Amino acid sequence: MQKLPRRDFLKTTGLAGSALALGFVFADKKAVLAKVADSGSSEITPFISIEPSGKITLINPRPDMGQGTFHTIPSLIAEELEVEMSQITVIPSDGNRKYGGQLSGGSGSVRASWKPMREAGAAARQMLTQAAAQRWKVPAEECYAANGEIHHRPTQRRLSYGELSADAARLDVPKNPALKPAKDFRIIGKSVPRIDVPAKTNGTAIFGMDAKVPGMLYASVAMPPAIWGKAVTIDDRRAKAVKGVKQIVRVKRPIFSKASEGVAVIADNYFAAVQGRKALNITWEKMPHSTFQQQAYFEKMRALAKQPYGIAHEHIGDVKPVFANAENKIIEAVYETPFAAHAAMEPLVALAHVKEDGSCELWAPVQSPDGAIGDVARELGIAPDKVKIHVLFMGGAFGRKAFYDFVVQAALLSKEVKAPVKLIWTREDDMTQGPFRPAMVNKLRAAIDPQGNVTALQHTVIGGSIQNQWGGLKADKADDWAMEAIDRENSPYEIPNFLLDYHHAETTVPLLWWRSVYSSTNAFGHESFIDELAHAAKKDPLEFRLQLMHKHERFRIALETLREKAEWNKPLPQGKARGVAIVRSFNTICATAVFISKNAEGAIQIDRVVSVLDCGIAVNPDNVRAQTEGNVVMALSTAVKDAITFENGQAKQQNYNSYRPLRINEVPEIEVHIVANNHEPSGVGEPGLPPVAPALCNAIFALTGKRIRTLPFSLAV
C-alpha cells in the first residue's frame, strides 16, 4: 500500500530533529531574520538563536490553526531552557528540512514534540552552562541556569545567555541532555496565558487573509459546480468590461491523483475579481462525476451493510459460530453519518509570486510548510529549494489546510500573469468544492447468551476511503484509517469474540481528514450500540461500560471520574435525562456525559456536557479545556444542524445560512475535567469530539425511548 503524505508525517514528524516555538507574531519574517543576523546572534541549535543583548529567537515548526501550538510547543523548550515565556520571540519555520517534519495535524504536534522540544531546550541549557564554567574555570556542576542566566553557586557570579551565546554556539550539541523531572516543572502543567492571544485579539496577528506584497493582483476562480471537469466554452466579454479586471485564464486544481480546471479572473482588487467572475458565462463539461446522487450512494452503502461479512481488519475469537447459535439473542443496528465540510472561519487564501528566475515565494496559512513546498514545486516543475514560504496564522483549518490545491492554484496563476497573485476562495467555494469528511454507514451486530452476557460483537464500517483517493488502497485491504477509535486497543470492551471489518464504497466526492476524521463517524455507531446492549441487558449504561472495561485502568479511571464529576448516580428530576459515551482517539481517552431536558415547546434542550479527558500530562490545562469546548460545539453542530448533501454532483449547502454552526445561545454549559497522571502527553485538538454525538443520542433514548441512528437530526424529536 502506498504511504500517504499525512500518514508519513504523523509517523516521522519530530524525529528528524528537535523543534521549538515561542512568542510573538511577525508580519515580515525576512526582516526579522535579517535583524537577528545583523545583531551578531549565535545559533545554539537550528531552532534557537540568542543575541548578545540576551534576546532569544526561536523557530516554530508547528503552524497554529487556533489549537494553541504557538504557545504550547514553545513552552516545552522554555521549561528546559529555564526562561520565561516573556523572554522569547518566535518566527515560523519555512519548510526547511533541517527543522524536521512541520505538520500540524492528527492531534500530533505535542505528542511528537514532547521529547525533541524538551531536549532542544535542555541541550541549549547544558551548552550555556558549560560555556560559563569554562569562562570561570570552574566545574560545570557548580553552575545552574535560571531566568535566562547561568549562576555560579559558590561565588554567586552570573552571566546572561546573551553574554555566553557565542561561546556556547561553538560547543558540540549534547546527544542525550538530562531532562527535568516532572516535580520541577514551572511551566508545563500550568494554565499559563497563551502568548498569541493578545495579538489575535488586538488585530496585530497576521493571518493568511492579511498577506500583502507590493504590486500584487487578486484572483477569484470560477470552479466546476460538480467539482470535477473543466470549461467547454467561456464568454468573458462582460467580465473583461469590469473595471479593474486584468486577465482571465484557465487554472488547474489538483485533487489527489486527478485534477479539475477552473476559470480565474485576475484584477487589481478583490471586488473587481469577484464581479468579473460573476459576469462570466461558462458552459461546463459534463462529467460522469456530475451525475453523483447522494441518495443512490447511501442506498449502495446500505446494500453493502446487508452482506454478513466484509474485509476483516481485526478479529478476536470467532463471531461466526456465536451468531449461528440459535440460543443466542442477536441484536443489529445500522448507523449513518453524513458528508461534512470543514467550514473554517477563514476561507482558503494564498499569495504567490513566481519570479523571473523561476523561483517561487509563498505567503500562506497552511498546516505544513514542507508539504505545501513539495506540492508547489512539483506542479511548477522546480526544485523544492526554489520555493520559499512564509507561514501565517490560520483562521481555523480542521484538516482542510493540510491539502494545498489552493496554494498550487495561486502559484500557477502567478506564473501565468507574471506578477504576485493573491487567490481568495469565497465562502461558497470553500463550502461546496471540498474535499469533505466521508459519509459513512456503520453496521453493528451482537450476540447475547441466555445468561445475558455479550459474547460477540461485529462492527462493519462502510464508506469511502481517503487512502484510496490518494491512490494507495489495495482491493483486498481495509482502510486502516477508517477503523480508528473502534479497534480493541481504542475500545477495549471485554467481549470474547470481536470482528472489525470493512466494505469500500467508492465515491466521486473528494474526501479528506476532518476534525477527528473517522473517529467521529465510527464512534457514533459504536458507542450508541454499546448503549443499546446496556439497555438490552437492563444495566446502567455507565456501569455496563465499567464492567466491560474493568481490566483497563485508564479507561476505568476516566469512567469513574465522569461518574463523580457528572454526579451520575444522583437521580434526575422528571423530564430530564443523560447519556454517556467513551472514545479513545489520537491516544487520548474522552468520556462524555450529555444532560438534556424538554423545553416548553416539547423540543429537546441540551443543558450540560461533562467531558473527562485522559491526555497524559496536560502541558497547558487551560488550552486542553478550550480545545475540548470547541470540540463539543463542533460535534453538536454536526449532530443537530446541517449535513453537506449532493444533487447531480453539486453540494447544496453554500454558506453558514444553510450549513449552520451552533449559535451562542444554543451552546450548553460545558465542563472539562482532566485526569491527572504522569503519562506522556497525547492528542487534544480532536479527541473531545467523537463521544459527544453518541452521548447526546443515548440521552435522547433515555428520555424519549427513541433511538437516533442517523445524523444530523432535529432536536424537535
pLDDT tens column, 351-382: 999 999 999 999 999 999 999 999 999 999 99
Q: What is the pLDDT of residue 12?
A: 34
In the numeric block, the cell 511528537 is attached to 112
Does the pTM surpass 0.85? The reply is: yes
pLDDT band at 6 (very low <50, low <70, confident <90, very high): very low
Alpha-carbon distance of 582 to 495, in angstroms, equals 16
Query: pLDDT-based confidence at 579, cuts 50/70/90?
Result: very high
Q: Quick one: average pLDDT of 491-519?
A: 97
Q: Would you state the pLDDT for residue 1?
A: 32
Over range 568-579, report the average pLDDT: 97
* DSSP notation for 526-592: HHHHHHHHHHHTT--HHHHHHHHTTT-HHHHHHHHHHHHHTTTTSPPPTTEEEEEEEEEETTEEEEE
pLDDT bucket at 408, cuts 50 / 70 / 90: very high
pLDDT at residue 18 tops 60:
no
Q: Are 131 and 152 in contact (CB under 8 A)?
A: no
* pLDDT grade for 44, boundaries at 50, 70 and 90: confident
* Segment 387-395 mean pLDDT: 96
> Which of 6, 191, 160 lies closest to 83 in space, CA to CA?
160
302 pLDDT more than 70: yes
Q: Which of 49-58, 108-117, 430-439 has the highest mean pLDDT?
A: 430-439
pLDDT at residue 489 greater than cutoff 60? yes
Beta bridge pairs of residue 158: 151
Residue 40, pLDDT score = 63
Q: What are the backbone dihedrals phi and psi of residue 106, each rounded to the nearest 5 degrees, phi first? A: 65, 25
Judged against a pLDDT cut of 90, whether residue 171 lies above it is answered with: yes
Residue 289 has pLDDT above 90, yes or no: no
Residue at 406: amino acid letter: F
Domain ranges of the chain: 5-202, 208-288+348-424, 307-339+436-704
**Position 209 pLDDT exceeds 60:** yes
User: For the structural domain made of 208-288+348-424, what CATH number should be given?
Assistant: 3.30.365.10
Q: Which pLDDT band holds residue 28 (cuts at 50, 70, 90)?
A: very low
Structure confidence by residue, pLDDT tens digits, 545-560: 999 999 999 999 999 9
pLDDT at residue 473, as a whole number: 85
pLDDT over threshold 60, residue 346: yes
* Tens-place pLDDT, residues 639-653: 999 999 999 899 999
The reported pLDDT for the residue numbered 479 is: 94
Rg value, the chain, Cα: 27
Range 307-339+436-704: architecture per CATH: 2-Layer Sandwich (3.30)
- First CA to last CA distance, the chain: 45
Above 50 in pLDDT, residue 35? no
Among the listed ranges 79-93, 421-435, 570-584, which one has the minimum average pLDDT value? 79-93
Backbone angles phi, psi at 562, to 5 degrees: -65, -40
- List the one residue out of 393, 358, 345 whose CA is nearest residue 29: 393
Around Cβ 531, how many Cβ atoms within 10 Å? 25
> Quick check: 715 pLDDT over 90?
yes
Q: Is the pLDDT of residue 32 over 80?
A: no
Cβ-proximal residues to 526 (8 Å cutoff; 6+ apart), any chain: 442, 444, 459, 485, 486, 491, 583, 694
Answer whether residue 74 shows pLDDT above 90.
no
Reply yes or no on whether the pLDDT at 450 is more than 60.
yes
Q: Tens of pLDDT along 219-234?
A: 999 999 999 989 999 9
Whether the pLDDT of residue 123 is over 50: the answer is yes
pLDDT of 91 reads 80
* Angstrom distances, CA of residue 109 to CA of 94, 404, 586, 613: 17, 19, 11, 18
Residue 37 pLDDT > 90: no
pLDDT value of position 600: 87
Mean pLDDT of the chain: 92
Closest CA to 54 of 185, 186, 162: 162
Residue 27 has pLDDT above 50, yes or no: no
| The CATH number of domain 5-202, selected from 3.40.50.300, 3.30.460.80, 3.40.190.80, 3.30.365.10 | 3.30.365.10
Confidence of residue 89 (pLDDT cuts 50, 70, 90): confident
CB atoms within 10 A of CB 633: 21
